[in-house]
Structure 1
Amino acid sequence: MAVQKVFPLSCTVQHYAWGKMGSSSEVARLLASSDPQAQISEDKPYAELWMGSHPRGDAKILDNRISQKTLGQWISENQDCLGSKVKETFNGKLPFLFKVLSVETALSIQAHPNKELAEKLHLQAPQHYPDANHKPEMAIALTSFQGLCGFRPIEEIVTFLTKVPEFQFLIGDNAAAQLKQSSNSDSQSASSALQSCFSHLMKSEKKVVAEQLNLLVKRISQQVAAGNNMEDIYGELLLQLHQQYPGDIGCFAIYFLNLLTLKPGEAMFLEANVPHAYLKGVASRDEECQLSAGHCLSLHTDL
């Protein structure tokens, strides 16, 4: 008898706090449409739908004619489904994790390690880094989807230092001056100056960050109330982020990182060491080859 290669799955949901609630989440609706027994809790966030064989989210097979209970078990016993090249390269594992994300509030800023660093981190702390693979990632917007990705050109960051004194205060005059001077320097000097500025921000005392952020929020709120447009410093976004995470240093990241708003069908690719954060929307995401964000599709390499 031929091996059955198409069958329904019940996929794992991750209830991270940043996800959309209940049936307002595309993740919850997809779960309900594929699994008749799924019960949606309206008071619970449905952040990610995982479609794959990740150990923390191995999809269940909904077909009594198949002896294997999960997708991972089925792949393990039907290795030809991977193809010879993939099977050999990834030791008989599915080399990606396909996700749908439904984002209500901003995710934390993160960057995925390259292969060499991933292996090192896995050896040092396997409880925090469960696999030794890198995680290149692609996010495809299913609705309007907003995120931060990679550092802005230095000229743009310098402009924000001029327009946002609270931002410059946290960076410090010396680091800010070094960044301004580096715009005409070689790439290594510019990279060093950028690193210094970002380090100054991230190492700022929590109390000082909260004070400067409150000053900025107050200034923007007053200008908006007076009918002034503050989009040159992303005033509306800054207020939204502060409302979600009062006093959080990540609110200032919008002045360091590129702000992207994707239309449905548009995508962003995130290679190793690229800082990024998803802000809102629905997307699909793919994480390649390892076990590792509105609505978004995503592919992760995560086995």
Structure 2
Amino acid sequence: MFERRPYLLNNTIQKYSWGMSGKNAFIPKLLGITLEKNEPSAELWMGGHPSAPSKIYLFDSWINLNDVIRDFPVEILGQKIFEKFGSQLPFLFKVLSAAQPLSIQVHPNKTQAEELNSKDPEHYPDKNHKPEIAIAIDELKMLVGFKTIQEFDALFERFPGFRSFFRITKAELKNVLLMNAEDQKLFLRNILKKLFDHSIKQSPSYFTLVEGLRNKIVNQLEYDNLDEAEILFHDLYPKFNNDLGLVLLLMMNFTTLEKGEAIFTPAGVPHAYIQGNIIECMANSDNVIRAGLTLKFKDVDSLKNIIDYSFGIPEKVKSSGDKKHLIFKTAAEEFEVHYLSLSAGQNLQYFCNDNPTIGILTEGEIQITWENDSQLYLFSKGQSFLLPASLNECKFQAVTKSKLYLSGLPQL
């Protein structure tokens, strides 16, 4: 028999090389654990993705969350979610901690994901799309989307090698500035496809472009006069040399999310987290199409047909609510994220609304009570939990000053 109550979760830490390591690594400090010396901790996965499903404490043992959902789908997911998404949790919830840049990447839409999975299941392990939200716990530096045509004009002026490679004169680029948005997008698509094709072929003109950029940034410009993207190129060149990502990062927007700010990345939008700690939530997928800044598998051939050739930075997600309870909604139907900040003694009533919720406490200690406060569990910093849809409602009460993030679903 499945009980309507909160359940403690045990989650996998992904130890990707770009994650933080050492005594100040964010995820081990959050969880109150110690990893082996210099072992990186990059992501904490909370959910049911088959690559690293959480375990739930049930019947006095740790059980694969997907096995429990299979046995009790309506109790955990709720009737509407079960009917819409089947017997799987629709979202994947993460804590992500980057000490070094991640790859420049895009995620496919559902149709593209199905095609990629059918063609190459080793590198594209599921059939789902991967829209995602990132919420800065402290600060996040990232690359996202392409610069505007006006910014390309300035970029080509600073690095004439771009003009030579793309065979475009100053006058021709000035004419592009006068075009409408759709024609500018077509121009961007054409020049980037040329860049992608030449990088795949490793053509002499591509090597000349990269070498020219390297020579200008490393040898000619004063380090103190470099912007953030150029500094990134300077610092990463010894590791990546002729990698496409070094060229792309100069053509993308370098931006910073301050603490509490959020950004939503839909399918096709190129992005790369550079450094920082975030809460991340996405549709239940691990499909990543990499362009560069990585030693992992890159698939530029697929990427050039999937990438969004729009320019500009996606708008930051505007939260609703108050300082005690913020809600981050996006265009995604698989998730929404709640942020609770409670002073000692404060409480908040939470309604599951026949949806599952996963939560993680990033600061403090809370009591979760239910059934008119007749039942309670105590959770401490770093612990995560599942609130099944059948719980209906519960109350969070802060024993000490507490902060927690919850991932649930929008109302269907």
Letter in 2 for 1:10: N
Q: Name the structure 2 match of 1:96.
A: 91
Runs of 5+ in structure 1 lacking a partner?
A: 293-298
SS of equivalent to 2:123: coil
Q: State the Cα deviation string for residues 192-231 of structure 1 (Å, max 9, x = none).
A: 21012223333243643542232023345x523xxx6333
Aligned length: 284
TM-aligned CA distance change 1:214 to 1:188, over 3 Å:
same
TM-aligned CA distance change 1:267 to 1:243, over 3 Å:
farther
Q: State the Cα deviation string for residues 225-247 of structure 1 (Å, max 9, x = none).
A: xxx6333x844333233355344
* C-alpha distance in structure 2 between counterparts of 1:8 and 1:22, whole Å: 27
Does residue 1:198 correspond to 2:192, yes or no? yes
Larger Rg: 2
CA contact (8 A) 1:167 1:252 kept: no
Q: Which has the higher helix share?
A: 1
Runs of 5+ in structure 2 lacking a partner?
A: 288-329, 336-412
Does residue 1:211 correspond to 2:211, yes or no? yes
CA contact (8 A) 2:128 2:283 kept: no
TM-aligned CA distance change 1:22 to 1:4, over 3 Å:
farther
SS of equivalent to 1:144: strand
Please, which moves more after superposition, 263-272 or 113-122? 113-122
Q: Name the structure 2 match of 1:46.
A: 41
Q: Name the structure 1 match of 2:24.
A: 24
Does residue 1:223 correspond to 2:222, yes or no? yes
Give the deviation of 1:147 after TM superposition: 0.7
Q: Name the structure 2 match of 1:185.
A: 179
Match of 1:262 among 257, 264, 269: 257
* C-alpha distance in structure 2 between counterparts of 1:209 and 1:47, whole Å: 33
> What are the equivalent positions in structure 2 for 1:1-303 lying under 5 Å apart?
3=3, 5-30=5-30, 32-33=31-32, 39-61=34-56, 63=57, 65-66=59-60, 69-79=63-73, 80-169=75-164, 171-174=165-168, 179-202=173-196, 203-204=198-199, 205=202, 207-219=207-219, 222-224=221-223, 229-231=225-227, 234-242=229-237, 245-292=240-287
* C-alpha distance in structure 2 between counterparts of 1:259 and 1:57, whole Å: 31
TM-score, scaled to structure 2: 0.62
TM-aligned CA distance change 1:16 to 1:192, over 3 Å:
same
CA contact (8 A) 1:139 1:285 kept: yes
Give the deviation of 1:179 after TM superposition: 4.6
Q: State the Cα deviation string for residues 267-298 of structure 1 (Å, max 9, x = none).
A: 11100111111111111111124354xxxxxx
SS of equivalent to 1:269: strand
SS of equivalent to 1:45: coil
Give the root-mean-square deviation of aligned CA atoms.
2.7
Give the deviation of 1:6 after TM superposition: 1.7
TM-score, scaled to structure 1: 0.83
